[in-house]
Amino acid sequence: MLRGSSAVAIDNERNKHPSDVIAAASAARARRSGRVGLATASRSTSDPHPAEMATHELHPNDTLTTLKMESENLKAKLEEERAKLHDVELHQVAEKIEALGQFVMKTRRTLKGHGNKVLCMDWCKDKRRIVSSSQDGKVIVWDAFTTNKEHAVTMPCTWVMACAYAPSGCAVACGGLDNKCSVYPLSLDKNENLAAKKKSVAMHTNYLSACSFTNSDMQILTSSGDGTCALWDVESGQLLQSFHGHGADVLCLDLAPSETGNTFVSGGCDKKANVWDMRSGQCIQSFETHESDINSVRYYPSGDAFASGSDDATCRLYDLRADREVAIYSKESIIFGASSVDFSLSGRLLFGGYNDYTINVWDVLKGNRVSILFGHENRVSTLRVSPDGTAFCSGSWDHTLRIWA
């Protein structure tokens, strides 16, 4: 940029008024990054437009523009239908309940031992053990209560972005840039190398972003940067069901706590949150109100709703029966994205870990922020409430995990 420009020209550049520069820059950025839509994004490359290539496969009467128009019309109609039954806002209904009092939560344990950014964690059903994974490929199982490390595994890849504890407490699953999800049975023989018993279960064509065991040790649900989610049989590594529908990387998922236990929700870089039927592989509901990537989704304890955290610095609540977004949790002073969210046991509180190193605690019903927790020295990347609701754990790029209560 400085090449060939005279020093005077540089001077003039530097002295421009900030708001002019911002306006010009945002316009340029919008054109470049294609916030206008997927089509624009792909058009910015010099390769032949993928849509042009794809049109040959469509019915001769459908052109790209008519499809797009139909899609837009349907979307508008859908919003109309959703709005018809929306007769009241959540905070209005919540006016009659008492406001929450002064909220005090402190760090009760700090788990040090990872040599690099902590990316993911999960609780064991015994309410005190956790598994955590980090950028340097290490997966550690801790007794968070005593802060003792009980197992450690070194994965052959870096950026282990997903890890999960098996319901029985006898195994952990993890994966990341290796595009796989592997299950490690936890052995108590100190001499045994855990890595030796590793079982490769899931195979994706891009990084693994999240994984979760279903009700047993035998099945794992995964989401990946390749835009799909998948259900796998652990024993055989067989793909039981795959879920297609996201238009970009899928970043998170959560299983529904419902009676029939057959659905889950996923969130992705296409700003959509999709609810899936595990049995048929169909997407049964879809929500698109976020303005940026959805980093985390979590069901409300009753299973009738779910919350999401996004790079657009908001957390939102979606009701599944009303089929719409029913609350937005945001504040002007919060400018960084939310990386992970979870509910307290009663669903009254929503904890959000943010990229500005803080944790914000929201009153789910009234919509206001109850507390802000400081402590981490880098972005909070993962956050889970313990199975009995007595505490929650947060993991951060500052290499530590903290237990708050």
Partner 1 sequence: MDTISTAENHTEMEQVIVAMQDPDLGIKMKNQRLLITVIPHAMTGNDIVEWLMKKYSIMEEEALHVGDLLVRHGYIYPLKEPRNLVLRPDESPYRFQTPYFWSSQQWPASELDYAIYLTKKNIRKQGQLIDYEKENYNLLHKRINHTWDFVVMQAKEQLRASKQRRKADRIVLECQEQAYWLINRPPVECLTPRLSQRDRGKQSNTKCEHSSRMCPITHITKRTLVRVSGLAFQDGRGVEHLKKALGRSRVKSSICLESFIKYSEQYFSHDPMMHGCPPSNPWITDDITHWALNTNTVSTPTKLRVERWSFRFMELLSDPLGRLKFMEYLEKEFSAENLCFWEACEDIRHGENSRIPQKVSWIPHRQFLAPGASKWVNVDSKTMEKTLEGLRRPNRFVMDDAQMHIYFLMKKDSYPRYLKSDLYKNLLVKAIAPQETKRSVFPFMRRHRHSSPNPALVAQALEEDGKAKRLGSPRITSPATSP
- Closest to partner 1 by CB, 76 vs 154, is 76
- Closest to partner 1 by CB, 265 vs 349, is 349
- Closest to partner 1 by CB, 77 vs 193, is 77
In sequence order, what DSSP letters do the residues of 13-81 get, joined into one string? HHTS-HHHHHHHHHHHHHHHHTTT-HHHHHHTSSSPPHHHHHGGGS-TT--HHHHHHHHHHHHHHHHHH
The minimum distance between CB 154 and partner 1, in angstroms, equals 18
Q: Which long-range contacts (CB under 8 A, 24 or more apart) does 184-189 make?
A: 184/139, 184/153, 186/141, 186/151
The minimum distance between CB 318 and partner 1, in angstroms, equals 11
The minimum distance between CB 284 and partner 1, in angstroms, equals 8
- Closest to partner 1 by CB, 28 vs 154, is 28
β 294-299/359-363 pair status: unpaired
How far is it, in rounded angstroms, from Cα 314 to Cα 113?
31
189 class by beta-carbon count within 10 Å (0-12 exposed, 13-18 middle, 19+ buried)? exposed
- CA dist list (Å): 192 to 138, 153, 172, 185, 189: 17, 11, 16, 11, 5
- Closest to partner 1 by CB, 71 vs 200, is 71
The minimum distance between CB 302 and partner 1, in angstroms, equals 5
The minimum distance between CB 166 and partner 1, in angstroms, equals 9
The minimum distance between CB 45 and partner 1, in angstroms, equals 6
How far is it, in rounded angstroms, from Cα 124 to Cα 126?
5
- Closest to partner 1 by CB, 13 vs 154, is 13
The 3-state DSSP class for residue 280 equals: coil
